[in-house]
Amino acid sequence: MKVLYFYQYFTTPKGAWSTRVYEFAQRWMVQGDSVTVVTSIYDKSDLRSTKWLTRQDIDGIDVRVINVRLSNRHGFLTRLCTFALYAIIACWYAITVRADVVVSSSGPISVALPGLVARYLRGRPLVFEVRDLWPECAIEMGILRNRVAVGLARLLEAACYRAASRVIALSEGMGEWIENRYGIHNIGVVPNVANSPSIEETGRIEPPLPAWAESRKLVLYSGTLGVANDCRLIVEMCRFLQHWEVQDIAVVVFGDGRERVKLEEIARSNGLSNIYFLGLVPKTTVVVWLRRALCSLLVLRNVPSLSMGSPNKMLDSLANGVPVVENTQGWVKALIGREECGLSVPPDDAEALARAVVALARDGSLRGRLAANASRVAREQFDCDVLANRMREILLSSY
């Protein structure tokens, strides 16, 4: 099977972003498939390019890099332009690259354009992978408000669902939303994975942590510091911890985004000595810290569509036996409650977040039970080999 994959954020384990496409492609190639990925340059990726268009062999994956740079620090109009430019140029590959099946992986919804070109101009089966509910997320967060733009985005979204031989959603809730809104039934669910090789390989190297971290219990956040991730809640949580004179807990924040400068300024202005912003680091480095963490944090704005996603930060934690403290209202909350692999707190409640962290720090038996369940859930429900094979079967059934 020849797979042509349109995904604008492709990253290997050396980067600081989801490696889903890389991990799946590695497993498909072992089974005799070939994979071509058309991507761009994301600031969390390890990809580099000095030319406008390059072709790179990355561990056997044929990667076509369009040198359009994406950053979470960009404003809405800049991001819109980079999305559109990538989509237009990617249409050339949709026409010229041979493939048995084409995958368009959204968001953003603009990535659907080359998939539609491949479907209607080249007659290739299209699989539409929905990582985020675009444009629904942008609309609910107030990012996309222009009526004409909203209408066009919804038309493109509907066209994708109609054209797709199969739709892949990253959660059951997302699949149900798509089915209810658009009345389609050709939906498969393949969540993100919890046991990539990058996590396993780091067991060979355990560099020492800074002195301030060695003697304290670490609470970890790793991800985008943007408008969707309610990271101001983390800073506010640290205010409670400091006010309660909790001296043995340090909060470590990995990541970057438009909110980072504001968050650091809030922490400084409040004199917080228990939070550390360490910026972007490779996923392998995050794993080293995770293995020594008390727990990890998953905080999102209280927006319905955001609660349907499949957060990598949570799954990386589960894979390392680290309980998750989260504030969502969707399937993640249900999973945490059912499997007892973390703690859930109400949205917008920094004090509840702080109390949950303290509870884990003070109750070793609770933390141990949640950690054991985290490892079990990672193995049983989010195994990479199982999920890669599930998606491969969906691709094979699409043509």
Say if residue 112's pLDDT is above 50: yes
Give the span between the Cα atoms of 229 and 392, in whole angstroms. 31
Average pLDDT in the 26-34 region? 97
Contact 169, 189 (CB under 8 A): yes
pLDDT at 71: 79
- Whole-number percent of the chain with pLDDT over 90: 67
- Helix (H) or strand (E) holding 36, with range, is strand 34-42
User: Looking at the DSSP assignment, which residues form a beta bridge with residue 168?
Assistant: 129, 188
Cis peptide before 135 (omega within 30 of 0): yes
Q: Mean pLDDT over residues 255-284, rounded?
A: 93
What's the whole-number mean pLDDT along residues 36-53? 90
Give the mean pLDDT of 153-166.
91
Angstrom distance (rounded) from CA 386 to CA 384:
5
The 10s digit of each residue's pLDDT in 274-309 is 999 999 888 888 988 999 999 999 999 998 888 888
Better-predicted residue by pLDDT, 234 or 282 = 234
Strand partners of residue 249 = 217
At 352-390, the pLDDT tens digits run 999 999 999 999 999 999 999 999 999 999 999 999 999
Angle between helices 112-121 and 76-96 (to 10 degrees): 20
**Model-level pTM?**
0.90
Residue 72, pLDDT above cutoff 60: yes
Residue range 176-205, pLDDT digits in tens: 999 999 898 999 999 999 864 444 454 455
pLDDT, residue 204, reads 53
**C-alpha–C-alpha distance, residues 237 and 241, integer Å:** 6
Q: Where are the alpha helices (DSSP H) in the chain?
A: 20-30, 76-96, 112-121, 136-140, 147-163, 172-182, 197-201, 211-214, 232-243, 260-269, 283-290, 312-319, 331-339, 350-362, 364-381, 384-397
Tell me the domains of the chain and their CATH numbers.
2-192+383-397 (3.40.50.2000), 197-381 (3.40.50.2000)
Backbone angles phi, psi at 154, to 5 degrees: -70, -35
pLDDT number for residue 196: 46
pLDDT given for residue 283 in this prediction: 85
Instruction: Tell me: pLDDT of 63 over 70.
Output: yes
Mean pLDDT of the chain: 91
Q: Residue 6 in contact with residue 164, Cβ under 8 Å?
A: no
Q: How high is the pLDDT of residue 201?
A: 53
